[in-house]
Amino acid sequence: MKAESVKSRNYDVVVMGGGASGLAAALTAAEGGGRVALFEKRNHMGGSSNFAEGMFAVESEMQRPMYMNYSRAQAFKNVMEYNHWRANARLVRAFIDESAATISWLRSQGVEFSEAITNIPDGWRTLHCLKGPFGAMGSPMIKTLTRRCREKGVDIRLATPVKKVLSEGGRITGVIAGKDGKAQTIKAKVVIVASGGYANNKEWIKKYAGYDLGVNVIPIRNYDKDGDGIRIAWEVGAAEEGMGTLHFFRVGPMGPGVRMLGHVECTCLQPLLWVNQQGERFCDESVSFNDTFGGNASARLKEGYSYTILTRD
């Protein structure tokens, strides 16, 4: 799909990024009567949200019939202990407190969920799985939200990256959007940055986390995540926080030119025998049930990867 020219008009809100966050922001603003434009730099919607299996929520309407005795206060305590109180507590609390309402809002927009489950033994059923054909993951949600945005008059522009946020006297005045040579100035009262992280930015990965992209850390299902929105936000005075934080996930056979191998990948993620380059067991393999714990264990290895020992039995 070719890049579309941007209409010469003023907007109340400009949203940068066409994933779940950007679509939700654009739709909410449009429902409130705002004139909204959404710019997505790729030629299709969704970004990493296309690969979401579900989303977290506590005290949701889907959990009530299950009589799940797990409160927002408990979830906040658990999350903050999990990250050793290194996360922004106010943001964590807001995220948890709004999680149930988010599920309700998505359902009201036509997004379908199948059930609330846990993928960790003895864990709380906080993962609200998206409903759709096998392998569809988050794409049905993206299609639904995109359709609702169009119905509400959101001006969606694909293959149109935001290059810069404009400000004057400390107030946001708009953006410069479009590919080089075709970029235009778009006026807006508010700009919402929802463009994701920097999983594909080799320089930033090295600078902030100390890893070598494509060598000892591999971006999975991420494309064009160069940190554009983060850089643009910094340029207009946004604070820097959490840049050295990465979500590690121990996966199966990976590497340059190697694709995920389905059943083989799942086998490697089981709590079998994991050994390092010297053939030594290096952790309690039951951590495989927790993505972050498994990733942390592997991250301590100099090479950044390990082997899973299997038998024919």
Residue spans of the domains in the chain: they are 11-192, 263-309
212, pLDDT greater than 50: yes
* Contact of 23 with 146, CB cutoff 8 Å: yes
Start-to-end Cα distance in the chain: 50
Whether residue 64 is predicted with pLDDT greater than 80 in this model: the reply is yes
Note whether 162 and 233 are within 8 A (CB). no
DSSP-derived secondary structure letter, 289: G
Q: What is the pLDDT of residue 5?
A: 47
The stretch 54-60 carries a mean pLDDT of 96
Using left for φ > 0, alpha for ψ between -120 and 50, and beta otherwise, residue 243 falls in: alpha
How would residue 147 be classed by pLDDT, with cut points 50, 70 and 90?
very high
Compute the distance between CA of residue 301 and CA of residue 308 in angstroms, rounded to an integer. 14
Mean pLDDT of the chain: 89
Q: Tokens in use for 270?
A: 């089981």
CATH number of 11-192: 3.50.50.60
The answer to whether residues 72 and 124 touch, using CB atoms and an 8 Å cutoff, is no
Half-sphere exposure at residue 64, Cβ-oriented, CA atoms within 13 angstroms = 5
Report yes or no on whether pTM surpasses 0.75: yes
Cβ-proximal residues to 123 (8 Å cutoff; 6+ apart), any chain? none
pLDDT for the residue numbered 263:
63
